[in-house]
Amino acid sequence: MVNKEVDRLRRLRAMALRVRTVAHALDPCDALLNRGKCVAWRVARTVSGRLRAHPYSRFQQDAGMGVAVANGLAAANTALGVKSRHQGLLRFEAHLRALARELSDVQALTGASDLNDSFGRSQIEIRALLAALAYETSGHRVPEASVSPVHGGGASVDSDWPYLAF
């Protein structure tokens, strides 16, 4: 990995951790926000694992205190003035879209196939979550028949996973 790729991965990790913090600040018990926290956590864990595998110790650093403080301030700012679940979901959707854009950029520019596969699965999950958020914020409720306990209470995305032949 070169310095530019490390910088991209660190930005992606910071964005994923921010999405997770925002979701927790908005409503720690909401099913859609919990799905978002899980997706963001998987992205952050993937990136951290990749950075820890770097041969140079200065590139192996975890997210620092500055990232945690900045994420806390962003989450508090996002949650400020939210009076309804609808408003909270709309604000969370904006943060999730930013994570999806950042993830797409990193995925397009990375050369590692294992990392690219992991990011591709995360992109599929984020798209499904964005569709569920759009459905919720448009005034409709997700039908109970499509709720899957495997994916944290949201719509199932089993059919969206790519086919892998060996």
Q: Which residues are 135's β-sheet partners?
A: none
Instruction: Judge whether 46 lies within some domain.
Output: yes
Whole-angstrom distance, CA of residue 117 vs CA of residue 93: 24
Instruction: Judge whether 23 lies within some domain.
Output: yes
Q: What is the DSSP string of the chain?
A: --HHHHHHHHHHHHHHHHHHHHHHHH-TT-HHHHHHHHHHHHHHHHHHHHHHTSSSGGGS----HHHHHHHHHHHHHHHTT--SHHHHHHHHHHHHHHHHHHHHHHHHH---HHHHHHHHHHHHHHHHHHHHHHHHHTT----GGGB-GGGTTSB--GGGSPP---
Instruction: Judge whether 101 lies within some domain.
Output: yes
Per-residue pLDDT band for 42 (boundaries 50, 70, 90) equals very high
For all residues of the chain together, what is the average pLDDT? 78
Cα distances (Å, whole numbers) of residue 61 to 41, 54, 55, 82, 108: 17, 10, 12, 35, 24
Q: What is the pLDDT of residues 100-137, one digit of tens each?
A: 999 998 888 887 788 888 898 999 999 999 999 999 88
The confidence score (pLDDT) of residue 159 equals 44
* Total domains in the fold of the chain: 1
Contacts of 53 (CB under 8 A, 6+ apart): none
Is pLDDT larger for residue 68 or for residue 99? 99
Instruction: Judge whether 166 lies within some domain.
Output: no
89 contacts 141 by C-beta, under 8 angstroms: no
Instruction: Judge whether 165 lies within some domain.
Output: no
Asked whether the CA dihedral 137, 87, 102, 46 is positive or negative, the reply is: negative
Residue range of the domain that includes 56: 3-160
Per-residue pLDDT band for 95 (boundaries 50, 70, 90) equals very high
Indicate which CATH number applies to the domain containing 76. Answer: 1.20.1260
Instruction: Judge whether 123 lies within some domain.
Output: yes
Whole-angstrom distance, CA of residue 8 vs CA of residue 102: 9
Q: Rounded to two decimals, what is the model's pTM?
A: 0.72
